[in-house]
Each structure stands twice: as structure tokens, then as C-alpha cells.
Amino acid sequence: MADASKRKKKRKKYLKLRKNRIWHSLVMFLIVTIAAAALLVVFIVSVLYFSVDKGITGEYETAWKMAELYRNVTDEGDRYLSFDVMDTDYYITDKNGKVVHSKGKNTCGEEGYLYAIALEGNIDEDGKLLGSPEGVSTVLHRDTEDPVLGGYEDGAIYIDYKRLVGKVFDVFYTNTGKDKTDEDVSMELPVWEEVDLGSGETLFFKAKVSFKDTNLVFFVVMFLVSGALFAILLLVMMISTISKAINQHRVNKLFFTDMQTKGHNWLWFLLRSEQTLRRITSAKKSFALIDLELAGYRRYCVCHSVDDGEARLVETNNALCAMLGKKELCAHSSEHRFALLLEYADRDALQRRIGSMLSGLGGIGAHGFAFHAGVFLIPPEERGGFLGRRKDVDIESDYNNACSARATLEDRSESAAAFFEDKLVEDQKWEATVTEMQQRALAAEEFVVYYQPKYDPRTGELRGAEALIRWQSPEHGFITPYRFIPIFEKNGFITEIDHYMIQHVARDQRRWLDMGYRCVPVSVNVSRAHFIEPDLAEQIRDMIDREGTPHSLIEIELTESAFFDDKNAMINTITKLKQYGFAVSMDDFGSGYSSLNSLKDMPLDVLKLDAEFFRGEAAGTDRGEIVVSEAIKLAKSLNMRTVAEGVEIKDQVDFLAAQGCDMIQGYYFAKPMPAQDYEERMKNGRAEGAET
């Protein structure tokens, strides 16, 4: 659980690296764009507010002064002169609403609103303009032909600024180029104002807002400058964002590109495969995670060159990518291995597809490669009987399972695929358990020495024995050597087991001598891992001497495969052992690596014929008997004794006796047995049923 948590933290770091900073830039770009646009709009609206407010207020003040004159004129014929001088449309109504005087076209709408643009806050609760005479208030009306007034809410009147801006620019362009002195450029604002004249009469006039040329130029220039600045800012931000996006893309490409194949690397595969498996669209699909290895890659690089080897990796990567579906993944995971994520419908179809892929890859390289594939299946995830999105995805752990399946093919010379099964998990757990218990078991002497007698096939006389190890565990009971010896050989603990066996066999031999038994030589196997130690012969001598056992009663067995390690070291150790009085034998002769040079160069005493000589289809045939017969003759010619192991039937015993084999070890005479049972065999001195 702790390892899984660490892997998740590591993947989060990788994801942070992959999630580039371009999103920050895009967000900032959007914020700045919105802010700049808002500022531009606020600027334009503020200018219009100011201009409109100033114009409407000025028009109202003029009309208010005219109204004062109107009130003070007593002559009925002269009362309207003060209004006629106003260069705008207007009309006056009496207290009954009847028009008593007018000028121009009446387009005043019936709907009236309190003036509350920039002067909002300057109007009291009764709707009167602060600072105006008692009873005077300002009301705005829409123009029915060209309305710029919008809705009215909570004392605020809204203006159609789009139409207003259009009018400003129309006036500006209409008057551009004309000869003018200090005249104002006039623009009739499509708004009507209402002024109370007293005595029940009301003035309605069309507001006429005046702008000087300089004001118009200032407004238009500021508008254009602001727009230009906004456009420049937008362009700069856009260029900066695009530049960051391009740079980030380059960084991502460099970060997720494999330097050897120029394809994708393991980090890319790790992130993309997890994303693929976590998608909702992938929840109902089955996937296969594959570890693909080029077997013999290092040997190929030695025979050719590293550059040639890397060229083969590039070919393999390209070939694999060409075989993938649209959403399937491939990456170079390590030196000569590739990781694949494939979709599949059923296992048989997947197995056929992988076989086809391996066949297609077989032509890579001048002499062709063998490819080993380990497969881990990832089925749809069910929760409560329903398919759901995968949550606990751990690609590293699943890929390790695929690697474990592939590792079972390491001894295969041809292309092959292996699926991860539950048994592999159990085997790995057992290996971990054995590794954890081994030191404690050694200290508690849980390892027990068994003995298998060797008999003369002609007389049935006990001539020797082989010491074999068994494990009597308090937790797991009796454990056969096949379940722990390969693990000890793999983790190096086998060297300590060798010492343990030599010490206990020497101790037993000494005890039996003291009890008066006629002891025969007992062979003890020494692992090939020991032969890297230059003082191995001295170690064996000292251990046996500490027990006080004669050297002639201990025979050192070496497996045939050990003869293909350091030849000089092997010869040196064997020579020393023989000088110290120990017999040396070659175990499993003929198991697959036979070499006459081994017999020629090594000063051996005993040759043990492998049990496979006496099993299988060739056992008992003329060809098989010829091979065994000639091997015995060869050993005798080299002054070596012979032992046939794995003998189980009487015909084999009779044949070996006729060929002059010195000793037979097998179930025909006896199985491996505990020390106390072997003592009984020593007492008898002969095989059961043998003629005296």
C-alpha cells in the first residue's frame, strides 16, 4: 500500500509537468481582454454621459430662462417671441393639455420620465431639479421618430448608446472638411424636455445638444486611440500566448520523446494509458497490457554494434506502431523492451493477434530476433453488478505483472507469449515467503539431511550415498527441495545451504564412525555459485576438519553446468580438493550441456549419468543403450567410477551391471530417507533382496 501511494504521488508530479502553464496564460489573456474591453466601454459611456448630461442640462437651463421671460411678458402677442428665437421644435399646452402655440414638428411621445442620467442624485424625492425654482421639475420624453430613450427603472433612464454614437459620428463626418470658425456643430438629440411655465401651461421642446468641433475631434480621437491601444494589447497578449503554447508543446514533445526510437517514452505511456483506462468511454472495454522484449538484443549488439542495435529498436517501434489501432498505445519502456496497451474482445482473438504481431516482427534484423511477450489482462471493472469507470488504475503494478509473465519465457529461443495467471502471483508470494524465512530456518536447523544409498548393481553392496536436503517448516510443514532450491539459487542463499549440508554430513559421518558403523563415502552437491571464491577448497577442508571426519568419506558433487563458468577456477579448485583427499564427481552428465572437453580437462573421480538416460522414449532402446554403454566405457578409460541415477526397474539394473557400471542410485533400491533409516541400511550393508 505504501508503494502504491508513492507511485500515485510520483504520477501526480508527472501530471503537473505535463499540464503546461499555457492555461494560466489563456486565463490571463481572457481576463485582460475582458477588462480592457470593459474599460473601453466605460470610457465611451462616461464621455457620452458627460456630453449628454451637459447638453440636456444646458438646454433645460435655456428653456428655464425663457420660461422666466415668458412669465414676465404681459403682452399676449409678445409672449412667444422668447421661444421662437430657440432654434428647435417645441409646443406649449394649456392646463387642459391643448396646444396653444407650436413651432416645427411635434414628435414628442406621451410617455414621460424624470431626468436621471448623470444628474441622478441631483433630483430630490419629488422629482425636482435641485437648485431650480419652486415647482419646476424636468421630465424627459421619447422622440417617436428617433427614440434614444430606453426603459425606466428606479429613477434611472436608459439611453440607446449605439444610436447615440452613430449620431455623433454622422455629425462628425458630415461637417469634416467644411470651413468653420468658432461655430458649433449642432446635433438634435432625439429627446423632448418638459418645463412647467406656471399658470397650468407646459413647454415641450426638442433638446438640441451642441458640440464644438474640438470636442467632437477629442471624442472621436480618444475613441480611436483607445480602440487602437486595445487592439495592440490584444495582439501582444495573443502573440505571447501563442508563443508560450508553441514553447510548451516543444517542451512536452522533448519530455515525452524517447531518445533512442524517437517515439514515445515510458512516462508518456504511463500517463496516457492511465487516462485511457479511466475514461468513461473505456469502462466497458477490455485491455491487454503487454511487455514485449527483443530476446538476445545484447548479444546482437556485441556481434554487430550498439548503433545497429538501436536501429533495430527504431524498426521495432515503427513496426509496432503500424500494427496498433487508433486508441492503442506503444512506447519504448527500457533498453530492449516495449510497452503496449491493446484493446481486445476475447482472449482467443487476442492470443491470435499477438501471435500475428510476433510473426510480423520476426523479420527485423539481419538474422531475425525472437520476441517474448508478457500479457496482463485488464477486464471491465464491475461494482455492485454494474460496469463503472475504473478508479484504482495502477499501470506500474499491472505492467510489472506483465513483466513477470514475460520472465517465464527467458529460456525460450523462439518468439512466444505468456499470459499472467494467478499462479504467478502465488509463486511470487511463495518466493517472498521463502526469502523471508530462510535465515531463521537455517538458524533453527529446520533443514533436514536425507540420504539416498548407492549400491553395486552386481553384488547389491552399499557403496555410497548422496546427501539431499529437505525442509521441515513449523508453519508450512514438509517442503520438497523443488519448492525452495531454485529460489535459493536465484537469491544466492544456496551458498549457505552448501555449507550447512557439508557440516551436517561431516557431523553425521563422524557420529556413525564413533558408533562403529562401516561408513561409505557420501556425496554433497556444491553450487556453481561457490566457484567464484578462490579459497573454496580450503573452506570445505576446514569445515570437515572441524568435525573430525576423514576426507575420504566426503565426495564433492559439481553439476555439469558449473563446468561452463570459469574453467581455470574450476580446475584449480578440483585439483586442490583432490590434494586434500576428497573425491570429486560430475553430476547430471548428459543433461544437455555435455562436453568431452570437460572430461578431458577436469581431474574427476566419479561420473554420474543423468536420470534422463533411463527415462523417455529412448530408454531401453538400442540407441539409448549404446550411448550409456559408451559413456561407461569412456569413464573407465579415464579411470573414473560411474554412478547411474534414476534407475527404477530391474532390466535397467541388469543392463548396467553387464556394462560394468560401478553404482546405481534410484528408486529400484531405495528412495531418499532420513538419517535414522539410512543407519539401518548401513547396518545391513547390502540392498534388500540382494544375494549374499
**Beta strand 663-665 pairing with 641-645:** parallel
SS (H, E, C) 611-674: HHHHCCCCCCCHHHHHHHHHHHHHHHHCCCEEEEECCCCHHHHHHHHHHCCCEEECCCCCCCEE
Q: Which residue blocks in 81-160 are alpha helix, DSSP H? A: 81-84
Contact 404, 429 (CB under 8 A): no
Q: With the C-alpha atoms ordered 473, 524, 552, 570, is the resulting torsion angle positive or negative?
A: negative
Q: Cell numbers of 664, please?
A: 546405481
Whether the predicted model's global pTM rises above the 0.85 cut: no
The verdict on domain 266-420 having CATH code 3.30.70.270 is yes
Contact 562, 531 (CB under 8 A): yes
Contact 461, 663 (CB under 8 A): no
Reduced to 3 states, what is the DSSP secondary structure of residue 92? strand
Give the DSSP letter of residue 104: S
**Beta strand 286-295 pairing with 185-198:** unpaired
**Beta strand 641-645 pairing with 99-103:** unpaired
Provide the phi-psi class of 632: left if phi over 0, else alpha when psi is between -120 and 50, else beta: alpha
Q: Between the CA of residue 335 and those of 1, 338, 592, what are the distances in Å?
A: 28, 9, 31
How much is the pLDDT for 133? Answer: 41
Q: Cell numbers of 374, please?
A: 508478457
**Domains 266-420 and 434-679 belong to one CATH topology:** no
What's the CATH superfamily of 434-679? EAL domain (3.20.20.450)
- Please identify every stretch of the chain with a pLDDT value under 50, giving residue numbers as ranges: 1-2, 17-18, 20, 115-123, 126-136, 154-156, 180-182, 618, 691-692
Q: Which residues pair with 142 in a beta bridge?
A: 191
Percent of the chain whose predicted confidence (pLDDT) is above 70: 74
Distance in angstroms (rounded) separating the CA atoms of residues 88 and 79 = 17
Radius of gyration of the chain (CA): 52
Give the DSSP letter of residue 461: B
Q: Which amino acid is at 638?
A: L
- Cα–chain center distance at 321: 18
CB atoms within 10 A of CB 293: 23
How much is the pLDDT for 4? Answer: 53
- List own/partner pairs for 346-354 with CB under 8 A and 24 or more apart: 347/377, 347/419, 350/288, 350/375, 351/417, 351/419, 354/288, 354/290, 354/417
How much is the pLDDT for 640? Answer: 92
How much is the pLDDT for 132? Answer: 43
Cβ-based neighbours of 102, under 8 Å, separated by 6 or more: 90, 91, 92
Reduced to 3 states, what is the DSSP secondary structure of residue 335? coil
Distance in angstroms (rounded) separating the CA atoms of residues 433 and 180 = 105
Contact 329, 269 (CB under 8 A): yes
Domain boundaries of the chain, sorted by first residue: 35-175+183-225, 266-420, 434-679
Distance in angstroms (rounded) separating the CA atoms of residues 155 and 538 = 112
The total number of residues written for the chain in this structure: 692
Average pLDDT of the chain, as a whole number? 79
638-672 exposure pattern, b = at least 16 Cβ within 10 A, e = fewer: eebbbbbbbbeeeebbebbeebebbbbbbebbbeb
